[in-house]
Structure 1
Amino acid sequence: MSAFTPASIRRRAAILATSLLVLASSACSGDSPTTPPPTTTVGARMYASKAFSIALTVTLPEDLKIAANPDNATLLSWDSNLAENNKVRFVLPVNLYKPKQLRPVAPPQDYLAYLRGLTAYGATYADEVATTVDGHPATVLTGSAADPLDGALGCAELNTPAEECFGLQPDLSLRIAVIDVGGKTLLAWARAEKGAGDVAAFFTEFETMLNGLKFT
């Protein structure tokens, strides 16, 4: 005689239906494993210099374009995705224009002392910090100027007019790092429009970049 009576069959059918309902509910509730959405990994934002004379790698914040423009022997530059005036630059100056001088000169041996000396010509500095970048001594400070100091920071190419070189400007705020890399002066800075609402956040991202920078 079969062990499956009509009543037992109905009970088994009810149990099976309940089990299937529980499984379906669990799947809908998200308790079961799901494929996570794609995310941007740190490695995807890692930039390795191609032509810069001091080889380095650095992780870029999300609001910087991933491609440097340019990446040559003396200049690395990134534009912002969010603000036209926001840029990050790494420069090995080949010469510079001292204030009120028409001819460029070689960068001074003690570049930091020279930079501080620009206060005699209207430069202003704040929030100076002594630190290291990948084990190399560095000083980070925020700079601006009462009047344009064209070319005072330096030029990335020889035979460049002062107005096409880098300098402190009254409408811009720069978070500048002066880094001694094996006796060479590496300048790095984040540039933003003075008084803009994103200045503090942009400078913080820049300092995070410096903290993760590696010379290779």
Structure 2
Amino acid sequence: MTRPQDDDGPARTTPGGRATAPPRVLPVGPDALLVELDDADATAAFHTELLRRRAAAELPPVAEIVPAARTVLLDGVADPRALAEELSGWRPPPPARHGGEVVTVPVRYDGPDLAEVAGLWGVTAGEVARIHGATEFRVAFSGFAPGFGYLTGLPARYHVPRRAVPRSAVPAGAVALAGPYTGVYPRSSPGGWQLIGRTDAQLWDPAREPAALLAPGTRVRFAIEESR
């Protein structure tokens, strides 16, 4: 990854041609900062650069780095004012699509909303499985429940709305779509995402290190598995 510019001038353009606006860095209490960014791609790039610099001992001491859809929270900052000035000049390019660990999740594409998603996409149910299985995803951030990752990667034409009426119980291992995200429910819970398949992979295991199978920044592929 190329190093970002160290000034807070006007928006820059990434190598792919996308303009990036300066991040907005806000104080949160006495020792935390909230970095606001324009979209999920910019947030992923910023989070990746934070992790890279911390691993290289190029970042001042920070206890926690927590990404979300369009923000990154830095908690336990030793010198918030100095770090805020530094972060406001960062312009990291998008993270490389083909770098880092890959986790493969086997999926049986037989979810109750598969036909509805196929209709929204204008394809057959089998094509939904093929398209989804051929896509490389990246975990943008985690939330909702321990081990639940919000995965990006599907082109905009395949984004789908949430269900009009959420289900009171979605089974553990359900593979689902909502808006630009793919997710896998780590445990049974209510949910309004479109269910297209299921997996036996264990998304959250407190006895495992790390406990979450899908951590922010992880590359993910879904492998088509025959329904039983």
Bucket of the pairwise TM-score, normalised by the shorter protein: under 0.3
What is the TM-score of this pair, normalised by structure 1? 0.22
- In our comparison, the structure showing a higher alpha carbon Rg is 1
Structure 1 or 2: more helix by fraction: 1
Flag the structure with more relative contact order, 1 or 2, with Cα contacts below 8 A and sequence separation at least 6.
2
TM-score normalised by the chain length of structure 2: 0.21
